[in-house]
Amino acid sequence: MPAVLQHHGAYVCHGVTWATGDPRLLLAPLAGGPLAYATFMKQRLGFRAGSGRWCTGRYGFTDTINVEAIACPDRAPAEQSGQCAPCASRDDFRFTHQFHQGGHAPDALTAYMAQPHWLYLATFADGTTKVGTAAEPRRRSRLNEQGALFATYLTKSPDGRAVRHLEDALTRRLELTQTVRAAAKLRALADLRDLGAARASHDKDLARAAAALADMNVTTVLEEWTPPGEGDQLRTPDAERALYPHDLREGEHGFTLRSCIGTQVLAHLEIDDETGYLLDLGALKGRRILLGRFSSPGTAVQASLF
């Protein structure tokens, strides 16, 4: 498991992870060494982002049921899919999405996919519902990182191949998407005025999905996901909030993080600000960042590190 950062410096950002149960930045030190976590909830986060895209490493299997993120040993520029060529060639986990269609499957991936998996529905602030899957060890963290307002576990499947066939079946039958873009999630949170509309949309799609699974003779559990408390402020309709006006992928930024849903966060530039700003920390994935005493444009910048 990555260590929790005790200092600041320069890193390749691997994005936001909920693997520990709370949202954290996953960072690869430019100086080398293993990945490290940086907590940010209720804290001030200051950084300078550099240009270019850098390799975010690969996933490796720690045993037959777990995977872990591994930093790129060379901190190399990204070539495709956010990886350099050597990391991409060693990433057995990349075959996951074709596994149920009879694609190439390394032995480690075959063992991983043999464990129980869950099928779920997740509904976002604009009422869009997606269908997805999660391996047993990722049952909760997978939903926490989605950025949904409401979600329900539909059924537990014996393995990853069976659950992905069910996922594809619901997409075909009900026209449910399997992906929702981060930009759409962020805009929907900015426009959130009433939780009732998203709740109604989720309940409607849940009833349709349950009926479709019953028609396929699949036993359902219909267990509602409990969202983490870190997102409570973002789930409050009509709060004073605006989209952050600056590009996180370049320049200097600084704010205090108040709430988080998935990779989307509510931040205040100053402690006494009434207006919160919505931004997607996932935009930092693959970027080099220098953590330190930086402020967003329009406020004073202090370039020294913490």
What gap in Å lies between CA 89 and CA 95, rounded to an integer? Answer: 11
Residue 231 has pLDDT above 50, yes or no: yes
Residue 254 has pLDDT above 50, yes or no: yes
Region 72-98: what's the mean pLDDT?
85
Q: What is the mean pLDDT of the chain?
A: 90
Residues 278, 255 contacting (CB under 8 angstroms): no
Residue 273 has pLDDT above 90, yes or no: no
Q: Which residues of 63-88 are buried (b: 16+ CB within 10 A; e: fewer)?
A: eeeebebbbbeebbebeeebbbeebb
Cα dist. 256→19, 57, 270 in Å? 22, 29, 7
**Tens of pLDDT, residues 216-227:** 999 999 999 999
DSSP code of residue 225:
P
- For the record, the structure tokens of 142 come out as 């997978």
Residue 24 has phi, psi (to 5 degrees) of -145, 155
- Listing DSSP states for 155-209 in one string gives EEESSHHHHHHHHHHHHHHH--BS---HHHHHHHHHT---HHHHHHHHHHHHHHH
The pLDDT value given to residue 304: 32
The pLDDT value given to residue 109: 80
**Tens of pLDDT, residues 133-167:** 999 999 999 999 999 999 999 999 999 999 999 99
109 against 180, higher pLDDT = 180
**% of the chain with per-residue pLDDT over 70:** 91
- Show Cβ contacts of residue 93 under 8 Å, excluding neighbours closer than 6 positions: 58, 59, 60, 61, 67, 109
Residue 110 has pLDDT above 90, yes or no: no
Q: What are the domain boundaries of the chain?
A: 3-111
306 pLDDT tier (thresholds 50, 70, 90): very low
Residue 274 has pLDDT above 80, yes or no: no
